[in-house]
Amino acid sequence: MIEPILPAYVVAADTRADLLDGPLFPEEEAVVSRAVGRRRREFTTARVCARDALRRLGRPAAPILPGPAGEPLWPDGVTGSITHCAGYRGAVVGSLADAAAIGVDAEPNEPLPDGVLAAVGLPPERGHVGGLLRAYPSIRWDRLLFSAKESVYKAWFPLVNIRPSFEDAQIDVDPLGEFTARLMAERPLVGGHPLDVLSGRWLVADGIILTAVVVPAAGKAY
Ligand SMILES: CC(C)(COP(=O)(O)OP(=O)(O)OC[C@H]1O[C@@H](n2cnc3c(N)ncnc32)[C@H](O)[C@@H]1OP(=O)(O)O)[C@@H](O)C(=O)NCCC(=O)NCCS
Protein backbone atom coordinates (compact mmCIF):
# COMPACT_ATOMS: atom_id res chain seq x y z
CA MET A 1 0.00 0.00 0.00
CA ILE A 2 2.85 2.40 0.83
CA GLU A 3 5.07 1.47 -2.14
CA PRO A 4 3.79 4.20 -4.49
CA ILE A 5 5.33 6.90 -2.28
CA LEU A 6 8.73 5.21 -1.99
CA PRO A 7 11.77 5.12 -4.26
CA ALA A 8 12.53 1.79 -5.93
CA TYR A 9 15.70 1.25 -3.88
CA VAL A 10 13.81 0.73 -0.60
CA VAL A 11 11.60 -2.25 0.25
CA ALA A 12 8.21 -2.08 1.98
CA ALA A 13 6.07 -4.75 3.59
CA ASP A 14 2.68 -3.79 4.97
CA THR A 15 -0.65 -5.30 5.93
CA ARG A 16 -4.16 -4.33 7.00
CA ALA A 17 -4.44 -7.39 9.27
CA ASP A 18 -2.50 -8.71 12.23
CA LEU A 19 0.07 -11.38 11.31
CA LEU A 20 0.67 -13.22 14.53
CA ASP A 21 2.09 -16.44 13.19
CA GLY A 22 5.58 -15.00 12.78
CA PRO A 23 7.71 -15.96 15.77
CA LEU A 24 9.54 -13.26 17.72
CA PHE A 25 13.21 -13.57 18.61
CA PRO A 26 13.68 -14.12 22.37
CA GLU A 27 15.08 -10.57 22.72
CA GLU A 28 11.95 -9.19 21.04
CA GLU A 29 9.71 -11.38 23.16
CA ALA A 30 11.36 -9.85 26.22
CA VAL A 31 10.40 -6.35 25.00
CA VAL A 32 6.70 -7.20 24.91
CA SER A 33 6.62 -9.79 27.68
CA ARG A 34 4.34 -7.57 29.76
CA ALA A 35 2.42 -6.08 26.84
CA VAL A 36 -1.03 -7.32 26.04
CA GLY A 37 -3.60 -6.83 23.31
CA ARG A 38 -3.01 -4.08 20.76
CA ARG A 39 0.66 -3.40 21.62
CA ARG A 40 1.66 -7.05 21.33
CA ARG A 41 -0.22 -7.42 18.04
CA GLU A 42 1.21 -4.28 16.45
CA PHE A 43 4.77 -5.02 17.62
CA THR A 44 4.64 -8.61 16.36
CA THR A 45 3.01 -7.76 13.05
CA ALA A 46 5.51 -4.95 12.41
CA ARG A 47 8.38 -7.44 13.03
CA VAL A 48 6.84 -9.91 10.57
CA CYS A 49 6.64 -7.07 8.02
CA ALA A 50 10.19 -5.92 8.80
CA ARG A 51 11.63 -9.41 8.29
CA ASP A 52 9.71 -9.83 5.04
CA ALA A 53 11.14 -6.51 3.84
CA LEU A 54 14.67 -7.45 5.00
CA ARG A 55 14.42 -10.78 3.19
CA ARG A 56 13.45 -9.01 -0.04
CA LEU A 57 16.36 -6.63 0.50
CA GLY A 58 18.58 -9.71 0.55
CA ARG A 59 19.25 -9.60 4.31
CA PRO A 60 18.85 -12.40 6.85
CA ALA A 61 16.18 -12.35 9.55
CA ALA A 62 17.29 -10.44 12.64
CA PRO A 63 15.70 -9.10 15.80
CA ILE A 64 14.45 -5.50 15.52
CA LEU A 65 14.75 -4.11 19.02
CA PRO A 66 13.93 -0.61 20.27
CA GLY A 67 16.81 1.75 21.04
CA PRO A 68 16.90 4.14 24.02
CA ALA A 69 14.40 6.54 22.41
CA GLY A 70 12.20 3.79 20.97
CA GLU A 71 13.86 3.93 17.56
CA PRO A 72 14.10 0.59 15.74
CA LEU A 73 17.65 -0.79 15.70
CA TRP A 74 18.35 -2.24 12.25
CA PRO A 75 21.07 -4.73 11.25
CA ASP A 76 24.41 -3.27 10.16
CA GLY A 77 24.22 -1.55 6.79
CA VAL A 78 20.43 -1.18 6.91
CA THR A 79 18.06 1.64 7.85
CA GLY A 80 14.32 1.64 8.03
CA SER A 81 11.14 2.70 9.75
CA ILE A 82 8.07 1.13 11.31
CA THR A 83 4.52 2.38 11.73
CA HIS A 84 1.24 1.00 12.99
CA CYS A 85 -2.24 2.39 13.45
CA ALA A 86 -5.72 0.85 13.58
CA GLY A 87 -6.04 -1.12 10.35
CA TYR A 88 -2.46 -0.74 9.13
CA ARG A 89 1.02 -2.02 10.04
CA GLY A 90 4.11 -1.52 7.91
CA ALA A 91 7.89 -1.53 7.75
CA VAL A 92 10.19 -0.01 5.14
CA VAL A 93 13.90 -0.83 4.90
CA GLY A 94 16.77 0.15 2.68
CA SER A 95 20.51 -0.28 2.38
CA LEU A 96 22.53 2.57 3.91
CA ALA A 97 24.31 2.75 0.55
CA ASP A 98 21.01 4.00 -0.89
CA ALA A 99 19.15 5.68 1.97
CA ALA A 100 20.67 7.58 4.88
CA ALA A 101 17.37 7.51 6.78
CA ILE A 102 13.71 6.56 6.36
CA GLY A 103 10.61 7.65 8.26
CA VAL A 104 7.11 6.34 7.62
CA ASP A 105 3.82 6.97 9.38
CA ALA A 106 0.22 5.79 9.07
CA GLU A 107 -2.83 7.53 10.50
CA PRO A 108 -6.59 7.15 10.03
CA ASN A 109 -8.03 9.73 7.62
CA GLU A 110 -9.97 11.29 10.47
CA PRO A 111 -9.87 14.67 12.20
CA LEU A 112 -7.22 15.16 14.87
CA PRO A 113 -8.66 15.32 18.38
CA ASP A 114 -9.54 18.86 19.53
CA GLY A 115 -6.51 20.91 20.44
CA VAL A 116 -3.89 18.75 18.75
CA LEU A 117 -3.47 20.87 15.62
CA ALA A 118 -2.95 23.95 17.80
CA ALA A 119 -0.35 22.03 19.82
CA VAL A 120 1.66 20.61 16.92
CA GLY A 121 1.13 23.06 14.04
CA LEU A 122 3.09 26.24 13.45
CA PRO A 123 0.91 29.27 12.47
CA PRO A 124 1.73 28.98 8.71
CA GLU A 125 1.04 25.24 8.81
CA ARG A 126 -2.33 25.78 10.50
CA GLY A 127 -3.29 28.40 7.91
CA HIS A 128 -2.32 26.09 5.07
CA VAL A 129 -4.27 23.18 6.59
CA GLY A 130 -7.37 25.39 6.84
CA GLY A 131 -7.13 26.28 3.15
CA LEU A 132 -6.62 22.67 2.09
CA LEU A 133 -9.57 21.48 4.21
CA ARG A 134 -11.81 23.97 2.44
CA ALA A 135 -10.48 23.07 -1.02
CA TYR A 136 -10.31 19.25 -0.66
CA PRO A 137 -12.58 18.25 2.26
CA SER A 138 -12.32 14.46 1.71
CA ILE A 139 -8.75 14.49 3.02
CA ARG A 140 -8.07 15.31 6.67
CA TRP A 141 -5.15 17.66 6.11
CA ASP A 142 -4.77 18.28 9.85
CA ARG A 143 -4.07 14.58 10.36
CA LEU A 144 -1.88 14.47 7.26
CA LEU A 145 0.25 17.32 8.64
CA PHE A 146 0.56 15.41 11.92
CA SER A 147 1.58 12.25 10.08
CA ALA A 148 4.16 14.15 8.03
CA LYS A 149 5.66 15.45 11.30
CA GLU A 150 5.83 11.90 12.64
CA SER A 151 7.62 10.69 9.49
CA VAL A 152 10.02 13.63 9.66
CA TYR A 153 10.76 12.81 13.30
CA LYS A 154 11.40 9.13 12.53
CA ALA A 155 13.86 9.96 9.72
CA TRP A 156 15.49 12.90 11.52
CA PHE A 157 16.03 11.39 14.96
CA PRO A 158 18.42 8.56 13.96
CA LEU A 159 20.57 11.01 11.98
CA VAL A 160 21.11 13.47 14.85
CA ASN A 161 20.23 11.43 17.94
CA ILE A 162 18.33 14.40 19.36
CA ARG A 163 14.56 14.40 19.79
CA PRO A 164 13.19 17.22 17.65
CA SER A 165 9.97 18.87 18.76
CA PHE A 166 6.97 19.80 16.67
CA GLU A 167 8.07 23.40 16.17
CA ASP A 168 11.53 22.34 14.92
CA ALA A 169 10.36 21.62 11.38
CA GLN A 170 8.00 23.60 9.20
CA ILE A 171 6.03 21.35 6.87
CA ASP A 172 4.71 22.51 3.53
CA VAL A 173 2.21 20.04 2.06
CA ASP A 174 1.64 20.00 -1.68
CA PRO A 175 -1.89 18.77 -2.50
CA LEU A 176 -0.47 16.63 -5.33
CA GLY A 177 1.29 14.18 -2.99
CA GLU A 178 4.55 15.64 -1.79
CA PHE A 179 5.71 17.66 1.20
CA THR A 180 8.85 19.32 2.45
CA ALA A 181 10.09 19.87 5.98
CA ARG A 182 12.31 22.89 6.59
CA LEU A 183 14.51 21.99 9.54
CA MET A 184 14.93 24.70 12.14
CA ALA A 185 16.98 22.70 14.67
CA GLU A 186 19.95 20.32 14.48
CA ARG A 187 20.63 19.73 10.78
CA PRO A 188 21.79 16.24 9.81
CA LEU A 189 24.95 15.79 7.78
CA VAL A 190 24.61 13.53 4.76
CA GLY A 191 27.73 12.97 2.66
CA GLY A 192 29.37 15.76 4.70
CA HIS A 193 26.69 18.31 3.76
CA PRO A 194 24.10 19.73 6.21
CA LEU A 195 20.50 19.14 5.19
CA ASP A 196 18.11 22.09 5.54
CA VAL A 197 15.10 20.36 4.02
CA LEU A 198 13.73 16.82 4.14
CA SER A 199 11.44 15.66 1.35
CA GLY A 200 8.42 13.46 1.76
CA ARG A 201 5.46 12.03 -0.08
CA TRP A 202 1.95 11.13 1.00
CA LEU A 203 -1.09 9.22 -0.15
CA VAL A 204 -4.55 8.47 1.18
CA ALA A 205 -6.07 5.05 0.44
CA ASP A 206 -8.85 3.02 2.04
CA GLY A 207 -9.25 5.45 4.93
CA ILE A 208 -5.53 5.48 5.81
CA ILE A 209 -3.14 8.41 5.45
CA LEU A 210 0.41 7.27 4.69
CA THR A 211 3.43 9.56 4.73
CA ALA A 212 7.06 8.77 3.99
CA VAL A 213 10.33 10.66 4.28
CA VAL A 214 13.38 9.19 2.60
CA VAL A 215 16.75 10.85 3.02
CA PRO A 216 18.74 9.58 0.04
CA ALA A 217 22.38 8.63 0.54
CA ALA A 218 24.88 10.96 -1.13
CA GLY A 219 24.47 10.72 -4.88
CA LYS A 220 20.96 9.22 -4.73
CA ALA A 221 17.60 10.90 -5.36
CA TYR A 222 14.19 10.35 -3.72
C1 LIG B 1 7.91 8.13 18.35
C2 LIG B 1 6.71 8.53 17.53
C3 LIG B 1 7.19 9.19 16.24
C4 LIG B 1 5.91 7.26 17.17
O5 LIG B 1 4.87 7.58 16.26
P6 LIG B 1 3.36 7.10 16.49
O7 LIG B 1 2.53 7.70 15.40
O8 LIG B 1 2.99 7.35 17.90
O9 LIG B 1 3.38 5.54 16.31
P10 LIG B 1 3.67 4.66 15.03
O11 LIG B 1 2.97 3.39 15.23
O12 LIG B 1 3.45 5.37 13.74
O13 LIG B 1 5.24 4.41 15.14
C14 LIG B 1 5.76 3.58 16.14
C15 LIG B 1 7.13 3.16 15.73
O16 LIG B 1 7.96 4.32 15.65
C17 LIG B 1 9.29 3.89 15.79
N18 LIG B 1 9.98 4.84 16.66
C19 LIG B 1 9.78 5.05 17.97
N20 LIG B 1 10.63 6.00 18.42
C21 LIG B 1 11.37 6.39 17.36
C22 LIG B 1 12.44 7.32 17.20
N23 LIG B 1 12.90 8.06 18.22
N24 LIG B 1 12.99 7.45 15.98
C25 LIG B 1 12.55 6.72 14.93
N26 LIG B 1 11.53 5.80 15.02
C27 LIG B 1 10.97 5.65 16.24
C28 LIG B 1 9.26 2.49 16.41
O29 LIG B 1 9.69 1.56 15.45
C30 LIG B 1 7.80 2.29 16.74
O31 LIG B 1 7.33 0.97 16.55
P32 LIG B 1 7.79 -0.23 17.51
O33 LIG B 1 7.69 0.29 18.91
O34 LIG B 1 6.86 -1.35 17.19
O35 LIG B 1 9.22 -0.53 17.10
C36 LIG B 1 5.78 9.52 18.29
O37 LIG B 1 5.26 8.92 19.43
C38 LIG B 1 6.48 10.80 18.66
O39 LIG B 1 7.18 10.90 19.65
N40 LIG B 1 6.27 11.85 17.87
C41 LIG B 1 6.89 13.11 18.02
C42 LIG B 1 6.89 13.73 16.65
C43 LIG B 1 7.63 15.04 16.68
O44 LIG B 1 8.00 15.56 17.71
N45 LIG B 1 7.84 15.57 15.52
C46 LIG B 1 8.61 16.77 15.47
C47 LIG B 1 9.49 16.84 14.26
S48 LIG B 1 8.60 17.63 12.99
Does the model's pTM come out above 0.85? yes
Ligand 1 centroid to Cα of residue 177, in Å, is 22
Task: Determine the pLDDT at residue 36.
Answer: 85
Task: Determine the pLDDT at residue 22.
Answer: 77
| Nearest alpha carbon, ligand 1 atom 4 | 150
User: Do residues 159 and 100 touch, judged by C-beta distance below 8 A?
Assistant: yes
Ligand 1 centroid to Cα of residue 37, in Å, is 19
Task: Determine the pLDDT at residue 92.
Answer: 98
Task: Determine the pLDDT at residue 34.
Answer: 94
Q: Which domains does the chain have, with CATH numbers?
A: 3-96 (3.90.470.20), 105-216 (3.90.470)
150 lines ligand 1 (CB under 6 A): yes
| Nearest alpha carbon, ligand 1 atom 30 | 82
Question: How far is Cα 28 from Cα 23, in angstroms, rounded to an integer?
Answer: 10
Task: Report the half-sphere exposure of 118 (CA within 13 A, side-chain side).
Answer: 3
Task: Determine the pLDDT at residue 20.
Answer: 78
Question: How far is Cα 27 from Cα 53, in angstroms, rounded to an integer?
Answer: 20
CA angle 196, 201, 204 (to 5 degrees): 150
Q: Which atom of ligand 1 is nearest to the CA of 158?
A: 24
Which of the residues in the chain have pLDDT under 50? none
